[in-house]
């Protein structure tokens, strides 16, 4: 069965009707969920998503996220070794627009042998991952 890592950019696009990728994200989410794929994310992505959704859309949207979407996910709780590897990768990359959360996501995906991400963040493709939507 396929495994798909879900990124903050996808969650935000699904929840925010004003997001440029909203329609595409909603359609992709429905297809991904109905496909039976195993859905993964990290605790770092959850924290980032909660913060962004609360700031942009409010507590009601967080409740929808928490009650309707999070239960569909397997959450990888990033250990100290993943955090350390991601921090090293972030500093080695030396890029302002690359975040620690992104680097943790890449490490989690490699550690878990997940090759596909549902994301609108180009950094995943740059790292060699397959990205949805295509």
pLDDT band at 13 (very low <50, low <70, confident <90, very high): very high
**Pairing mode of beta strands 74-76, 38-42:** parallel
* pLDDT for 95: 82
Which value, to the nearest 10 degrees, does the dihedral of the CA atoms of residues 29, 45, 56, 14 take? 0
pLDDT mean over 42-66: 97
Its pTM stands at 0.95
Q: What are phi and psi of 33, to 5 degrees?
A: -65, -45
Q: Which pLDDT tens digit goes with each residue over 74-118?
A: 999 999 999 999 999 999 998 888 999 999 999 999 999 999 999
Domain covering 3-132 in this structure, CATH number: 3.40.50.1010
At residue 134, does pLDDT exceed 90?
Answer: no
Q: To the nearest whole number, what is the mean pLDDT of the chain? A: 96
| Domain locations in the chain as residue ranges | 3-132
pLDDT at 1 over 90: no
Identify the H or E element spanning 38.
Answer: strand 38-42
User: 130 pLDDT exceeds 80?
Assistant: yes
């Amino acid at each position: 069965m396929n495994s798909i890592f879900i990124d903050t950019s996808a969650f935000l696009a699904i929840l925010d009707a004003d997001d440029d990728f909203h329609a595409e994200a909603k359609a992709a989410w429905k297809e991904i969920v109905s496909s039976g794929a195993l859905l993964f994310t990290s605790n770092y992505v959850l924290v980032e998503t909660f913060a962004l959704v609360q700031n942009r859309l409010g507590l009601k949207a967080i409740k929808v996220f928490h009650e309707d979407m999070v239960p569909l996910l397997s959450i990888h709780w990033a250990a100290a070794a993943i955090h350390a590897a991601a921090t090293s990768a972030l500093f080695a990359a030396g890029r302002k627009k690359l975040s620690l959360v992104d680097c943790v996501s890449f490490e989690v995906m490699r550690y878990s042998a997940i090759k596909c991400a549902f994301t609108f963040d180009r950094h995943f493709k740059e790292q060699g991952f397959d990205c949805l939507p295509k």
